[in-house]
Each structure stands twice: as C-alpha cells, then as structure tokens.
Amino acid sequence: MQTLNANQVDSTIMEEAGKIIRAGGLVAFPTETVYGLGGDALNPESSKKIYAAKGRPSDNPLIVHISKWESMALICTDIPKEAELLAKTFWPGPLTMIVNKSDSVPYETTGGLDTVAIRMPDHAVALAFIEAAGGYIAAPSANTSGKPSPTLARHVRDDMNGRIEMILDGGEVGIGVESTIVDLTGGTPTILRPGYITKEMLLRVLDEVDSDVTLMRCDTNQAPKAPGMKYRHYAPKGALTLVEGEPDEVVNVVNQKIAEAKERGEKTGILCTDETFAQMKADVVKSAGSREDEHEIARRLYRILREFDEEGVTVIYSESFSREGFGQAVMNRLLKAAGYTVIRE
C-alpha cells in the first residue's frame, strides 16, 4: 500500500489513483470533512471490497462522490428541485443529498436501497481524484467500522494497512465530522445526520426542513431512516461517558468519577475544553479547544478519541457541548461514541 503526499493536485498521482479505481481497487483520499475510502461506485465488486476493508455491515449504504453537477443525470432517475437549489448554494461542500437511484447504481453501493446518497466534496484533491477515476466514487469514511472517522492519513493507515491499494495524504482535514445528510425522496426534506451545514443554513434555501427524531436519542421506538444510524459509531476503545450541566458542576462530577475509576485500576482520560483544562485531573487530559469555537472542537474530536486509544485509556469522561447549530453535529457524534451514556447534573 502506497501513501502519496497529495497536498496539492499532481496529475501523475491522480492518474495513478484513477487507474487503481478503474481496475476495481480502493484508494483513500482527503475531503474537507474526513478521509474517504473510495472505490468505483458503479462497480458492484468495488463496493463489496469497501465493505470488506471496513468490516462494515453490507446494509449500511455508501455515499457516491461526484465532481460536477452534470454527473447527477446518470445516477438518479429524477432530480428534485430542492437538490438543484441546495447544490447551487452548498456544492461543492459538506452536504449529502438522498435521491432515487437509477439502474446505473448497483445495489451493492446503496446497501440494497432504491435511493442513493450523493455529495460533491469541497477539496481540490478529492475533486481531481474523482474526475481521474471516472466521475463516480463510492466512499464511506476510511475507518474500520465502529471506530472514529479518520482526520489524518495516519489514522487511515492504522485502520486500513494492507487492505487497500493507496492513500492520498492531504494533511489534516478542515471540518473533522462527516457531511450533513438530507433526504429528498419523500415530502419535507429531512436531516438524517447533522453536520457542518446546519438546519438554519438549509432553511435559507428551502421552505421547510425536518430533523429525524432519532438524531440525538436512542430511547425511541421509531426505526432509524438512514440504515447507518442503527450501528455503533465513532467509538474509542475506552468506555466513554458524557457529563452535562453547569461547567463547575461538570468539573466536580468528572473529577469524582475519574478518582473512582482510578481506584478500580483503570487508566483514565478526560475530554474537556480550554476553559476547564486546568481543573481536570486524570492520567490523560485533552482539550478539544475553546468552548466558544465549536468548529475547532469538531476538527479535533476524532483525533483525540483515537489518542485515548493509542495511550491505552480504558475509562473516559467528556464534557458536553451546545446542541445548537453546528454543535448538534458534534454532540450527535459524541452521544453515539458514548453509546448514549450521559450523566445529567
């Protein structure tokens, strides 16, 4: 497996990567959200390889990445007018749209669904790679299923070593959590996964937007709309618990829980913010950034969760963040990573 430096577009490298995809192989590549694990979206064998490399359940569909609007025509049966409006405003960018699929898209790529998720990433290397590979790249995040998504090429190497043909190393990603997913296949457009593009941003373009009720909780009888929503995601190896409440209270509770865990012989970790860092006491204390800057927190989140693993931390307590705006995307990932284990003060 080759790791190639791809901080900028190099036509020789893109050609090589494109060749691998056309031959049915897999290439990991940087996007503005997280690293993707790419294969030819129109080749069922490639999609099967993606599931195998990730150890991902085959009913959890992949996202098809395109590099130009015209590519939509081949892969969906009808293009909803909302898709056109959203693409004009947010593409290339961290927004995935779900539409009805055409016969060109194999069921292996959509996890057996008649709908397909499509996105145009806002990253020069990703766009050049998609183009060089024939225009349609199926790509989930390039992590082993269940683990935090990769925000550095090193994370991809740790998870995928020997399982894929190539990694394009574009340095650290900019956003750090996966794209917003919006379903356009029935009635009101519905957010299935929160991301950088918030509901408020979508409402500047669309009259109505719903959020799926299962986004922030697990205590619901409703079946999740996006198949991927039912699986454990983003989780570090250590047992992660979130603590919600006033900052002072949170510091007290976290320190107390950590002291108890230490007594049991656990290696302890705390995920906190710059504001609370000095007061937190554990074997490994990591700040995700200032409370004021949720974009910084998002960018660092997965890297920190992986660092706890690397340092052998077995019990982790984390502060909680605002659930408003982009904060909702951060909390959605943290809640899943914690298996919805939350202490409310």
Tokens 């293009």, located at residue: 79
> Using the rule CB under 6 A, is 116 a contact of ligand AMP?
yes
| Structure-derived torsion over alpha carbons of residues 195, 197, 202, 205, reported in degrees to the nearest 10 | -160
Place of tokens 């809640």: 335
Q: Which of 142, 168, 118 is nearest to 50 (CA)?
A: 142
Residue 229 binds which entry of Mg ion, ligand AMP, none, CB below 5-8 Å type-dependent? ligand AMP
* Spatial distance between the Cα atoms of 137 and 126, rounded to a whole number of angstroms: 10
95 contact, one of Mg ion, ligand AMP, none, CB 5-8 Å limit per kind: none
Report the residue from 93, 94, 140, 150 that binds ligand AMP according to the rule CB under 6 A: 140
Rounded least distance, CB 195 to Mg ion, Å: 12
| 201, two tokens | 């941003």
Quick one: 181 or 329, whose CB is closer to ligand AMP?
181
C-beta closer to Mg ion: residue 57 or 186: 57
**Residue 178 interacts with ligand AMP (CB under 6 A): yes or no:** yes
**27 vs 254 by CB, closer to Mg ion:** 27
The one segment of 213-221, 224-232, 278-286, 333-341 that binds ligand AMP by CB under 6 A: 224-232
User: By C-alpha distance, which of 34, 36, 3 is closest to 133?
Assistant: 36
C-beta closer to Mg ion: residue 96 or 141 = 141
Determine the Cα–Cα distance for residues 309 and 313; give it in Å rounded to an integer: 6
The residue number with the shortest CB distance to ligand AMP is: 228
Quick one: CA dihedral 327, 340, 151, 257, positive or negative?
Answer: positive
List of residues contacting ligand AMP (CB under 6 A): 60-61, 63, 98, 110, 113, 115-117, 140-141, 178, 181, 192, 226-229
